[in-house]
Amino acid sequence: MASKKTIFVAFAIEDEKIRNMIKGQSLNTDSPFEYIDMSVKEAYDEEWKKKVRTRILRSDGVLAIVSKNSLTSTGQKWEIKCAKDEKVKIRGIWAYKDDRTNIEGLNTMVWTWDNIANWIDSL
């Protein structure tokens, strides 16, 4: 198996349960990736942005959990923009079967572990 890849997960705080499922998967011994959590409860100040940018730059890719909540999440929007600005590969996964929210400029796929693993393997 290839070495583990570092994946930054961008998500709206309302989708924390979905993030927790991905985190659980990353802790699974067969998982091909490590997981970085930068979720915050406080305001997105400049210090937070510096830390996030550093972690995104250290990551092999950014996985964005996409839902209708993404449209109003200033933190997630900033994380996605940061990944694009820094030219870090980014991919979206839809959080829910009945929610196919589209974020302009973000290639989004159906959430299956195979889809996630194949994307990570391609990094």
pLDDT in tens, the chain (123 residues): 457 888 899 999 999 999 888 777 665 656 666 666 666 555 568 888 998 999 999 999 999 999 999 999 999 999 999 999 999 999 999 999 999 999 999 999 998 888 988 898 899
- Please state the pTM of the whole predicted model: 0.87
User: Which tokens sit at 17?
Assistant: 């349960």
Q: What is the CA radius of gyration of the chain?
A: 13
